[in-house]
Amino acid sequence: QKEVEQDPGPLSVPEGAIVSLNCTYSNSAFQYFMWYRQYSRKGPELLMYTYSSGNKEDGRFTAQVDKSSKYISLFIRDSQPSDSATYLCAIYSASKIIFGSGTRLSIRP
């Protein structure tokens, strides 16, 4: 079983829609959870960083961690074409980052 699993998509939604991206993880000891955004031909960029359970909001982005079900989510409100990218969930394990495989998101104008 992979430590972090993520639906690869692709996911295509119209501009203005609410987007939900999800990952599951295997080890209940994980405490630090992240979402990275990666544009084509670029390196990943840290979007959201969450410790333990609960929600964290930053503008149009909300990260949610449910430790009871080992489920992490990223919600994007009022999605824009500029949000089109690959979104990678990630967790800290033994001082290194383990990434999911990424979900490719396309926002249609």
Partner 1 sequence: DAGVTQSPTHLIKTRGQQVTLRCSPKSGHDTVSWYQQALGQGPQFIFQYYEEEERQRGNFPDRFSGHQFPNYSSELNVNALLLGDSALYLCASSLHTGATNEKLFFGSGTQLSVL
Residues that bind partner 1 (CB under 8 A): 4, 6, 8, 31-32, 41-46, 49, 51, 88, 90, 92, 94-102
44 in helix, strand or coil?
Answer: coil
Separation CA 29–CA 9 (nearest Å): 27
State the Cα–Cα distance between residues 108 and 93, nearest whole angstrom: 36
CB of 15 to partner 1, least distance (A): 25
Taking the complex as a whole, the smallest distance from the CB of residue 64 to partner 1 amounts, in Å, to: 18
Complex with partner 1: residue 44 or 76, whichever CB lies closer: 44
The Cα–Cα gap between 58 and 106 comes to 21
Residue 10 CB, nearest approach to partner 1 (Å) = 11
